[in-house]
Structure 1
Amino acid sequence: MECDDYGLTRKLERDNLNLNPLQRGGVLPAAARKALYEFGDGYSVCDYCDGRLDKVTRPAVNCFLDDLAEFTGSDAVRTVHGAREGKFAVMHALCDRGDTVVVDGNAHYTTHLAAERNGLEIVEVPSSGHPTYEVTPEAYREVLEETLDRVEVKLAVLTHVDGNYGNLTDARGVADVCRKLGVPLLLNCAYSMGRLPVNLRELGVDFVVGSGHKSMAASGPIGVLGMRSEWEDLVLRRSGRHEKKELELLGCTSRGAPLATLMASLPYVRERVSRWDEELKKTRYLVSELEDIGGIEQLGVRPKEHDLVRFETPVFHEIAASHPRKGFFLYEELKKRGIVGIRRGQTKWFKCSIYGMTEEQVQYVVDSFRDIVEENR
């Protein structure tokens, strides 16, 4: 196989409406695209660095981190290479090999990998199963109490919004449970920080991690790690050999374009978070209209509290059974209409998001699904 240019051309966002929930929150505004050009060189934010990335003043990384701490309600905040690196750093700082952590049943695979890489034992809090897949504070309490009867639990991890069903968990309720039982709580906000309001202090958690490229309009890979002041000395402790470097972060984290775009996007992200109610209204409209077609049903907790939606779609699976293109028909019918983001060959179910779309674009998506069913049923 010959690759002359490695296929480095992408017009997906320019030419289509992209329903992929993994990508909706990562679309860059104009200011971030300018920063991407200015700081595309690998170490471009390090022109005036004196050994501490968080202390760089040109560009003003130090001021940005202060603003980011305020935005997330954290006492201290650092950028990391992604939410997974933030989870790993916290686990590594708080736990020893063989220790136990409790995680929710809808946890992202990177939560498991972070724990596994640290040599930790994982105990899961089950969800309610089909069709809501809800994780409740009560279920968390039961599992924590049972586990604490056997072993010490060094850390609890809760997925604020999961990537399968888009369920927004009761983080404050779980935090209350963890506080009463003396277990620190890390909240994985990869799908929430930057889309909807997230405040560490108000939620009562000990740590938050977020994803710049997934939900904060940054080019990435980059993440956010916020914490209470009581954990700073442990998680941000310095190297014994290189006194300026923070050990758990391996010194410096994301540099160049990932950091610059995250910085440039913060005012835009702050403003769009203030309009979360509008996004929720559009999502609930999408659910209502698609379910009205028939043969399409939303999974997860109702009513929707997040833009990521998972649908069971027997109507499309039935059409695929007799369609000449079989399971590929839905992807192709959508692509003809300038809509992408649904996987090829997928008809039994799909995930989607209309985050950031206009009402007119949302209506076009709804009408397109309705037309596809009417034309092929």
Structure 2
Amino acid sequence: MSQDLSLQKFGLIKRDTPRAINLDPLQTGGLLTPEAREALLEWGDGYSVCDYCGGMLDQIKTPPIFDFVHKALPAFIGMDHSRVTNGARESKFAIMHAMTSPGDWIVMDGNAHYSSIVAAQRARINVKLVPKTPAPDYKITPEAYTAAIEEVKQQSGKPPALALLTYPDGSYGNLADAKGITKVAHDFGVPIIINGAYAVGRMPFNGKDLGADFVAGSGHKSMAASGPVGVLGVNEQYASKVLQKSPTHKNKEIEFLGCTARGATIMTMIASFPSVVERTKPENWEKEVSDARWFSGQMEALGMKQLGDKPHNHDLMFFEGSVFYDISQKTDRYFLYRELKEKSIHGIKPGLTKNFKLSTLGVGREKLGFVVDTMKDIIKKYSG
């Protein structure tokens, strides 16, 4: 049987998305810096950094991967040890696999990303979700963690092997009481992961200050890196388990299958790192939160409703857009995406009108004002 080797559809494929204003929560924190774009070209060839590797990726001195992984990164995330992984989900799985046995339990918030649940399933452990409060707040509380851990104890006869908190969650951008929740976990003797995929690299973050035993972060979501790439943080108490070496290949760490991110992914993360450190300084993050709150108020003045924490404390926000949904019933569900695209505004997925999320990170007040004016004009156009 002959195979179809037609090549017409392959080759350079350009993105069909406007880039003037990007509100996509998956992309705002991952937009490459100019330095990272140069690194992408410089280090894009396959296993490029392996030219410099003597057998342990994290020990490469030139380029300065060792200094990044073992010095700068743990200081940045506030943990004793760190590694660069192939994504936050890989970080979470590595922790779960190292710290649990099949049949154990993990307690995690009801706003958890699906990848946290899938990582637990892959590790063959059971998941207990901590209920969130009803709409419109969708909060996760320390008291709810207490109740969930007690339920696991009653059901299984022992506390869960792990807990996990999503900080912030990827739907509403809520920042839970991390210190209160980690204290609850520790009071039960349960080590806890903070999934900071939307925190590490976007906002001030210190895992130890929050009470985390482990941290998972995303380079391509929040550290201006070309993905998939992530970070993992672990404190000394559990380092021997998570960073365990192979008994047969003594310079290879088992949970990372010997090596993880190599080439353009880690090198773009390193290239962007000075800019990421700068944008996460408290004074810069305060400006981002101020812009997010201003934008939320403007959107609500147009008839939309922001769900989750209010006043909001993060750039990621979720809106009920009933005004747009009502218009879609008279026109078509893609009208909003089409109208925004004409104004080079990207980030609200095609077909979403009733509910949608977006991010204001790095957009700035002037461009956010343009988005608000555009939304206003769209409503006027279809409501006249």
Which interval holds the TM-score relative to the shorter structure? over 0.9
- Aligned counterparts of 2:374 and 2:41: Cα–Cα separation in 1: 36
- Aligned counterparts of 1:367 and 1:176: Cα–Cα separation in 2: 45
Matched with 1:226 is 233
Q: Secondary structure at the match of 2:201?
A: coil
- Which amino acid letter does the alignment assign opposite residue 326 of structure 2? E
Matched with 1:52 is 56
Cα drift, residue 11 of structure 1: 6.4
- Which amino acid letter does the alignment assign opposite residue 29 of structure 1? T
- Which amino acid letter does the alignment assign opposite residue 168 of structure 2? V
Matched with 1:117 is 122
More displaced, 355-364 or 256-265?
355-364
Matched with 1:146 is 151
- Which amino acid letter does the alignment assign opposite residue 277 of structure 1? E
- Aligned counterparts of 1:17 and 1:271: Cα–Cα separation in 2: 22
Cα drift, residue 2 of structure 1: 7.2
For these two proteins, the number of residue pairs brought into alignment is 373
- Which amino acid letter does the alignment assign opposite residue 83 of structure 2? R
- Which amino acid letter does the alignment assign opposite residue 287 of structure 1? S
Matched with 1:23 is 27
- Which amino acid letter does the alignment assign opposite residue 108 of structure 1? H
Structure 2: which 5+ residue stretches go unaligned? 1-5
> Would the aligned equivalents of 1:91 and 1:118 in 2 still touch at CA under 8 Å?
yes
- Which amino acid letter does the alignment assign opposite residue 184 of structure 1? P
Matched with 1:36 is 40
Matched with 2:330 is 322
TM-score (norm 1): 0.96
Cα drift, residue 77 of structure 1: 0.2
Structure 1: which 5+ residue stretches go unaligned? none
- Aligned counterparts of 2:327 and 2:368: Cα–Cα separation in 1: 24
- Which amino acid letter does the alignment assign opposite residue 315 of structure 1? V
- Aligned counterparts of 2:46 and 2:248: Cα–Cα separation in 1: 26
Matched with 1:292 is 301
Please give the root-mean-square deviation of Cα atoms over the aligned residues, in Å: 1.3
Match of 2:172 among 156, 162, 165: 165
Identity over aligned residues, as a percent?
A: 46
Cα drift, residue 164 of structure 1: 1.1
Matched with 2:95 is 90
State how 1:1-377 maps to structure 2 within 5 Å: 3-5=8-10, 8-10=13-15, 12=17, 15-65=19-69, 66-151=71-156, 152=158, 153-274=160-281, 275-294=284-303, 296-323=304-331, 326-377=332-383
> Would the aligned equivalents of 1:45 and 1:58 in 2 still touch at CA under 8 Å?
no
- Aligned counterparts of 1:340 and 1:67: Cα–Cα separation in 2: 33
- Aligned counterparts of 2:183 and 2:252: Cα–Cα separation in 1: 34
- Aligned counterparts of 1:359 and 1:334: Cα–Cα separation in 2: 18
> Would the aligned equivalents of 1:334 and 1:368 in 2 still touch at CA under 8 Å?
yes
1:306-329: CA deviations, max 9, x gaps?
Answer: 111110011111111222xx1111
> Would the aligned equivalents of 1:12 and 1:18 in 2 still touch at CA under 8 Å?
no
- Aligned counterparts of 1:49 and 1:328: Cα–Cα separation in 2: 50
Q: Secondary structure at the match of 2:309?
A: coil
Cα drift, residue 150 of structure 1: 3.1
1:41-90: CA deviations, max 9, x gaps?
Answer: 11111112111111001101011111001000110000110000011011
Cα drift, residue 177 of structure 1: 0.7
- Which amino acid letter does the alignment assign opposite residue 90 of structure 2? E
Cα drift, residue 7 of structure 1: 5.9
> Would the aligned equivalents of 1:189 and 1:210 in 2 still touch at CA under 8 Å?
yes
> Would the aligned equivalents of 2:164 and 2:194 in 1 still touch at CA under 8 Å?
yes
- Aligned counterparts of 1:204 and 1:347: Cα–Cα separation in 2: 39
